Structure 1
Amino acid sequence: MTFYRPKSLLRLTLVGFSLVSLPLILALVTALVYVDRLAGQSQRAVYQAVQAIRNSQVVGEQVRTMERSARQYLVLGDPSFLDNFLDAHAQFQQTVLRLDELPLEESQRSQLQNLVEVERRIHETLRSNPPDAEISAAVVQDFALLNEQARAILAESNRLIDREVDAMQSSALRAQQVLVWQALALIPGTLIFVGLFTVLITRPIRQIDKAIHQLGDGRFADEIDISGPEDLRSVGKRLDWLRRRLLDLEEEKNKFLRHVSHELKTPLTALREGTDLLAEEVVGPLNGEQREVAGILQQNCLYLQKLIEDLLNFSVAQARSATLELRPVHLKALITAVAETHRLAAKAKQLQLGLELDDISLVGDQDKLRTVVDNLVSNAVKYCPPRGRVEIYLRAELGFAIIDVIDTGPGIAATDKDKLFDAFYQGQAVAEGPVQGTGIGLSIAKEFVLAHHGRIEIIESTPVGAHFRVTLPLHQEPVEKETL
């Protein structure tokens, strides 16, 4: 089943506006239809009521005219009065026909039929008998009944206006109820359309924004797929091409780092062995200046070794083929062991090393987690001034293990906070110690934490020093190995 996909965001927006305005247009058309219907009904009702009243009045006048002519005919015996009666009778018949064409009530129509019957009997009697006949004198007395019926018909016609008014009020009330229910149905329908097209328009934009953040964070493994109009899907395809290109460059960079680091280890080994032989005076005794030079060589060999090891670790952290060796890790024991490795350095600077660790275990890569904690603790010891304090906390909260490393050093400058986890970036603070850092320890820590689906962040609420927090899920995916 295929769905209509607009070719552009503009077309999708126009379709959205059209569908959102469609219920409103339908409501307006329906309201116009009901108003027109009510106007036509009221016009017909008023016309019919006026015609009924007018014809009822004319019937009454014609009945009186016929009565007057009939009585004059009976008294005077003049045939001209009979002609006047017959003329009034013809007009009466026409008026009755017009009245009968109107939508009268059954009672009113019955009264009109009785009126016609009485008038017809009077008409036939007077036309068939001489004026001095007894039957003619007797039938004239029926004009009283005829007048009474004419007045009753007029009264019913007057009440017809009230009935039509009530009917129009009922129709108006029904129309009002229909329009109210229609409005109540259209409001959620319109809101549904608005919400639907808001999602359809904003979803690809959010996906593009997410994809850009994904590329900015260096997460090149996940494919970028943008849904929506064709122009935005085309942008998504270009972003995915950029992702693949960046992934290739990243792999080339890591391959280069691995090769360079590996090639540097061979001459470094020879340098280390040579400087150790000189320092141990295996090749002959040394004077004071020569021992000083040998110490400098040893120190720089150690620094160079650290640089190469950091490059290798950084290469492993960045490599997409690296795996996590998942197994249960006792975090309390791991952190305690790392703290012990730094206790001599802390003692040399007269630092207080405080541990407050809960007994927590999780599933993870022990070596990589050790590297994360080691980098954070070594930085805290390195940047903390003499007689300062380094505190390490471990606790569990909402299914996560939280590690806090806090020192009383110079803290982190505001300009450094956004770049501190970038590779080879060194902040403004000056480390205490003979060997300077390489600027990739925190970058390695971040990569290893992200590989465990966790996060590492700088907590800014600490009044002095630096506060790093690592949040790790207590349960990883139930697989033996996981790609970084």
Structure 2
Amino acid sequence: MKPILYSKKLSLTQQWIGTTLLSMLPLIIAVTYATWEMSSQARAQKRLVMEQARISQLSATIQELSKDIERSARQHQLLQEVSLLKILKIKKNQLSDSLSEVKVLLPSLANNDVLQEINNHSEEIILISQRSNANRGQHLENLYSTLKNDSDTLHGQLRSAVQDNLDRAEDELNNVLWRVLITGLLALPASFLLLGASTIIVTRSISRLSLAIHDLGNGKWDKAIGINGPSDLVELGHRLEWMRTQLLSVEQQKAQFTQHITHELKSPLAAIIDAQGILADQIPGRVNNQQMAVLKILRNQADNLQELIQQLLNFNTISQGIAANDEEIDLHNLCKKLIARYRNLLSDASIQINYSGHDGLVTGNAQLIEMILSNLLSNAIHFCRPSGSVCVSWGVREIDNRGQAILNSNTTGSFWWLQVSDDGPGIDNDERDAIFQPFYQGRNKRHGALKGSGIGLAIVKACAEQANANLSLNSIKNKGSKFTLCFPDNG
């Protein structure tokens, strides 16, 4: 046995796992991207909520501190206590800190005039409250009103800024969702595409392996088997190649044996026929009627045996192939020669053999055509009913390539046809394929004392395939069979 060459490639199972993981890669990337985007968005939303809550809190604090400053200033104006002035300064500092934090949280308001005015007005209220000017009351009232208006204005601006931030966050979330959706939509067909491509790559070796097994089963042993792909399939391919070489060797030995044994049989058979001829010609001495009848039986059986040997030789020859050699063939002369040969073998002289067809020559391989016609004639003669008839006909472009007649005889075509029919028992439907298999013996028994070899129609089918002819069978139970072949017209 040829040593097995183990490949370093992956096995079929490993390749299936690899291709599955590869096809899932786009989906894994899409899921990972979606997870990352949603996680980032969740963190951003959490941070945004905290910032917006703080801004809202600062807005309320600034309004409250503005009111506290006004309240403390009025109390100081009325009571002139130092402690109230200290409280006023504390509230002012708290207001300044809140305004500074707003600038940090909302950089867009860093240069906002309202923030600066609130800070300046609160500072001015403290400065005026420290003076003892008689006109400060009216001035402070104006500052209280302005501070309140500014704090209300700032409250509205902060509320708008919070809403703008929320709108931007919603837009960003929608963009993220769209990106995740598009990524998923792209990942799904990409996964299917990779899965399909990977499956084709992996199954290509399986297809080649299946084709190789099919060829082995059909006797196509000339083409070497080479399988690429997974290591276990490569190993199986090596074993099939070893099997192919063994089958090819056995077939060649069988063909050589068949050829040798048939040639060895022909020599003594020829001697028997010659001896029978000498006795029948009464050269050694006179022969009575009974002895002549025995000699006639001997000659008939010897001729039948010679026909069987010739069929074995033809089957062996066609199995090995016949070189293509198209030439012009005169079917009239060929039919006349074959009918004369089989007329001597007819046990029933009342069987009629008729032939007619196109007057011109046809083009084809003469050896193949002769084997086809010879075996079809032999088959028709041996299965024809007593006192029946066998008909051979041919023509050019008058029936289609399925054996059906074309009503318009002027129809152009590129084939010629040959047809052999008999009026025998016909062929059952379940046997129509089997009768073309070598050595198959059907239910119907042929006439004559010698049993058939079962390879006549197998030779016809093999010859038809080599001649690129279409072989069809039309048979009716108890009415006969009709074999039709359509040949390409290479003339």
Specify the TM-score bucket, using the shorter chain as the normaliser.
Answer: 0.7 to 0.9
- 1:481 counterpart residue number: none
Structure 1 residues 71 and 192: alpha-carbon distance in aligned structure 2, compared to 1, 3 A threshold: same
2:244 maps to a residue whose letter is: R
- 2:366 counterpart residue number: 366
Contact 2:228 2:234 survives alignment (8 Å): yes
Say whether residues 1:441 and 2:461 are aligned partners.
no
- 1:220 counterpart residue number: 221
CA distance in 2, matches of 1:169, 1:376: 88
1:431 maps to a residue whose letter is: R
Contact 1:70 1:140 survives alignment (8 Å): no
- 1:375 counterpart residue number: 375
Size of the aligned set, in residue pairs, is 465
- Please give the per-residue CA displacement for 1:309-346, whole angstroms capped at 9, x wherever unaligned: 11211221223xx541332556xx64995498459779
1:367 maps to a residue whose letter is: Q
Structure 1 counterpart SS, 2:323: strand
- Please give the per-residue CA displacement for 1:403-457, whole angstroms capped at 9, x wherever unaligned: 6766664444566455433332222221245654321222323333444466757
Structure 1 counterpart SS, 2:438: coil
Return 223-232 or 142-151, whichever deviates more: 142-151
Contact 2:103 2:110 survives alignment (8 Å): no
- 1:28 counterpart residue number: 31
Return 267-276 or 239-248, whichever deviates more: 267-276
Structure 1 residue 57: Cα displacement: 0.7
CA distance in 2, matches of 1:395, 1:243: 39
Contact 1:395 1:401 survives alignment (8 Å): no
Gap regions ≥5 residues in structure 2: 1-6, 403-412
Structure 2 counterpart SS, 1:438: coil
Return 454-463 or 180-189, whichever deviates more: 454-463
Structure 1 residues 238 and 71: alpha-carbon distance in aligned structure 2, compared to 1, 3 A threshold: same
Of the three residues 106, 112, 118, the one matched with 1:115 is 118
- 2:435 counterpart residue number: 420
- 1:47 counterpart residue number: 50
CA distance in 1, matches of 2:393, 2:353: 13
Structure 1 residues 58 and 231: alpha-carbon distance in aligned structure 2, compared to 1, 3 A threshold: same
Contact 2:104 2:110 survives alignment (8 Å): no
- Please give the per-residue CA displacement for 1:81-109, whole angstroms capped at 9, x wherever unaligned: 22221111121122222222213544994
CA distance in 1, matches of 2:422, 2:401: 21
Contact 1:339 1:377 survives alignment (8 Å): no
Structure 1 residues 133 and 164: alpha-carbon distance in aligned structure 2, compared to 1, 3 A threshold: same
2:230 maps to a residue whose letter is: P
Say whether residues 1:284 and 2:285 are aligned partners.
yes
Structure 1 residues 311 and 107: alpha-carbon distance in aligned structure 2, compared to 1, 3 A threshold: same
1:113 maps to a residue whose letter is: Q
The 5 Å alignment of 1:457-468 reads none
2:271 maps to a residue whose letter is: A
Contact 1:335 1:373 survives alignment (8 Å): no
Structure 1 residue 381: Cα displacement: 4.5
Contact 2:427 2:476 survives alignment (8 Å): no
Q: Among all aligned residue pairs of Structure 1 and Structure 2, give the percentage whose two residues are the same amino acid.
A: 26
Say whether residues 1:326 and 2:329 are aligned partners.
no
Of the three residues 74, 80, 92, the one matched with 1:71 is 74
Structure 1 residues 148 and 248: alpha-carbon distance in aligned structure 2, compared to 1, 3 A threshold: same
Contact 1:452 1:472 survives alignment (8 Å): yes
Structure 1 residues 153 and 433: alpha-carbon distance in aligned structure 2, compared to 1, 3 A threshold: farther
Contact 2:424 2:478 survives alignment (8 Å): no
Structure 2 counterpart SS, 1:324: coil
Structure 1 residue 195: Cα displacement: 1.3
Structure 1 residue 65: Cα displacement: 0.7
Structure 1 residue 462: Cα displacement: 9.7
- 1:429 counterpart residue number: 444
CA distance in 2, matches of 1:410, 1:176: 80
* Cα root mean square deviation, aligned: 3.7
- 1:203 counterpart residue number: 204
Structure 2 counterpart SS, 1:142: helix
Gap regions ≥5 residues in structure 1: 477-484
CA distance in 2, matches of 1:144, 1:191: 71
Structure 1 residue 226: Cα displacement: 1.6
Contact 2:95 2:119 survives alignment (8 Å): no
CA distance in 1, matches of 2:254, 2:196: 45
Contact 1:360 1:401 survives alignment (8 Å): no
CA distance in 1, matches of 2:447, 2:464: 26
CA distance in 2, matches of 1:312, 1:392: 27
Structure 1 residues 146 and 473: alpha-carbon distance in aligned structure 2, compared to 1, 3 A threshold: farther
Structure 1 residue 72: Cα displacement: 2.4
1:325 maps to a residue whose letter is: A
CA distance in 2, matches of 1:335, 1:15: 68
Say whether residues 1:19 and 2:22 are aligned partners.
yes
- Please give the per-residue CA displacement for 1:151-170, whole angstroms capped at 9, x wherever unaligned: 22222332334323322332
CA distance in 2, matches of 1:17, 1:461: 57
The 5 Å alignment of 1:303-318 reads 303-318=304-319
CA distance in 2, matches of 1:224, 1:209: 11
CA distance in 1, matches of 2:100, 2:415: 95
Structure 2 counterpart SS, 1:44: helix
Structure 2 counterpart SS, 1:141: helix
- Please give the per-residue CA displacement for 1:58-97, whole angstroms capped at 9, x wherever unaligned: 1001001101111222233232222221111121122222
